[in-house]
């Protein structure tokens, strides 16, 4: 027998003729080597493909979660805007009916009332609702107030500031403080990209130093609608929003109108 080969004997169960195969060791080792390499390759492929498949499934799951969270965030924002409107209307109705109010409610009402009788008594329900919607009580952005309202010394005073400055990161959505019509959406050398909204009943608001605008002149906007994105345009030293309120073309402190 050749020492370089080994015999493979096959014995059938049906007692038929036994078969013997002489297989060279070299061929056997080559076949075993191919089998090992193939096994390793299959294991690597399965492991790699499995990771890719898991990552793909995870990415798809995360994408669905992002879409759901975005929808929920929008719904929460809309709910907050409606709650702010309902709260302002509730306070006014309580006052008109002479109902008792908690101290916090009295403070909230004082911030929603407009000077010189914008909320007049004797109007019908629709008029009252329209007037309430004209009150700029919704915060256009939420942030730290870096400069307050000061018109005591007049425009010639260095401390003259006909609005409030609210520090926020660049690109923060700026929202309308109340429903109204956009009368200006343009560049201004002082306020940079600004938006001016006429809310009716003599009330107007200004939003300055924006990075870019989301509305056009003549456009109707609702309370809480995004009208711009904050920035540092015009005569500004840091990203913030300059917010003004005027009643019959007279500058007034925005904090008199903004709800907590």
Binning pLDDT at 50, 70 and 90, where does residue 225 land?
A: very high
Percent of the chain at pLDDT > 70 equals 73
Overall pTM > 0.85 = no
Q: Does residue 147 lie within any of the structural domains? A: yes
Count other C-beta atoms under 10 Å from residue 256's C-beta.
17
Binning pLDDT at 50, 70 and 90, where does residue 68 land?
A: confident
- State the virtual CA torsion across 54, 55, 61, 67 in degrees, nearest 10: -170
Residue 86, pLDDT above cutoff 80 = no
Q: List pLDDT tens digits, range 101-125.
A: 565 555 555 555 543 344 444 445 5
Which string of b and e fits 65-80 if b means at least 16 CB within 10 Å?
Answer: eeeeeeeeeeeeeeee
Q: Does residue 87 lie within any of the structural domains? A: no
Looking at per-residue pLDDT, the higher value among 64 and 226 belongs to 226
Q: DSSP per residue over 116-158, as a string? A: TTSS-TT--HHHHHHHHHTS--S-SS-SEEEE--B-TT-TTST
Q: DSSP per residue over 12-54, as a string? A: -TT----EEEEEEHHHHHHHHHHHHHHHHHHHHHHHHHHHHHH
Looking at per-residue pLDDT, the higher value among 174 and 100 belongs to 174
Rg (CA), the chain: 37
Most confident of 42-51, 60-69, 127-136: 60-69
Residue 256, pLDDT above cutoff 50 = yes
- Return the minimum-mean-pLDDT range out of 141-150, 173-182, 199-208, 251-260: 251-260
Of the three residues 51, 67, 87, the one that is the final residue of a domain is 51
Instruction: Give the mean model confidence (pLDDT) for residues 195-203.
Output: 93
Binning pLDDT at 50, 70 and 90, where does residue 63 land?
A: confident
Strands 5-10 and 19-24: antiparallel
- Return the minimum-mean-pLDDT range out of 112-116, 195-199, 212-216, 242-246: 112-116
**Do residue 41 and residue 142 come from a single domain?**
no
**Cα 109 to Cα 132: distance, rounded to the nearest angstrom:** 11
For residue 79, the SS3 value is: helix
**Cα 65 to Cα 42: distance, rounded to the nearest angstrom:** 34
- Residue 25 confidence (pLDDT): 67
- Residue 40 confidence (pLDDT): 78
- Residue 203 confidence (pLDDT): 92
CATH code of 176's domain? 2.70.70.10
Q: Does residue 92 lie within any of the structural domains? A: no
Q: List pLDDT tens digits, range 5-53.
A: 766 676 777 666 777 767 776 777 777 777 887 787 777 777 776 677 7
**Cα 256 to Cα 254: distance, rounded to the nearest angstrom:** 5
Q: Does residue 104 lie within any of the structural domains? A: no
- Residue 116 confidence (pLDDT): 35
- Residue 201 confidence (pLDDT): 86
Q: Does residue 217 lie within any of the structural domains? A: yes
Residue 100, pLDDT above cutoff 70 = no
**Cα 233 to Cα 39: distance, rounded to the nearest angstrom:** 64
**Which secondary structure element, helix H or strand E, spans residue 55, and what is its range?**
helix 25-97
* Residues spanned by the domain of 156: 138-256
Give yes or no for a contact between 84 and 223, defined as CB atoms under 8 angstroms apart.
yes
User: Structural domain tally of the chain?
Assistant: 2
């Amino acid at each position: 027998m050749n020492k370089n080969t080994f015999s493979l004997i096959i014995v059938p169960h049906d007692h038929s003729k036994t078969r013997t195969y002489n297989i060279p060791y070299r061929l056997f080792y080559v076949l075993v080597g191919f089998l090992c390499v193939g096994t390793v390759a299959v294991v690597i492929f399965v492991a790699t493909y499995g990771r890719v498949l898991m990552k793909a499934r995870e990415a798809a799951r995360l994408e669905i979660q992002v879409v759901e969270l975005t929808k929920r965030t929008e719904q929460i924002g809309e709910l907050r805007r409606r709650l702010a409107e309902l709260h302002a209307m509730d306070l006014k109705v309580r006052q008109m009916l002479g109902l008792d109010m908690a101290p916090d409610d009295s403070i909230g009402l004082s911030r929603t009332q407009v000077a010189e009788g914008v909320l007049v008594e004797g109007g019908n329900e629709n008029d009252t609702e329209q007037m309430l919607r004209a009150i700029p009580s919704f915060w256009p952005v939420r942030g730290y107030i870096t400069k307050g309202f000061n018109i005591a010394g007049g425009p010639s005073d260095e401390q003259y500031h006909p609005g409030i400055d609210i520090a926020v990161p660049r690109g923060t959505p700026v929202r309308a403080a109340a429903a109204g019509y956009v009368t200006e959406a343009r560049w201004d050398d002082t306020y940079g990209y600004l938006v001016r909204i006429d809310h009716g009943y003599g009330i107007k608001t200004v939003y300055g130093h924006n990075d870019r605008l989301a509305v056009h002149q003549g456009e109707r906007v609702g309370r809480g609608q995004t009208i711009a994105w904050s920035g540092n345009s015009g005569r500004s030293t840091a990203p913030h929003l300059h917010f003004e309120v005027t009643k019959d073309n007279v500058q007034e402190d925005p904090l008199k109108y903004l709800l907590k």
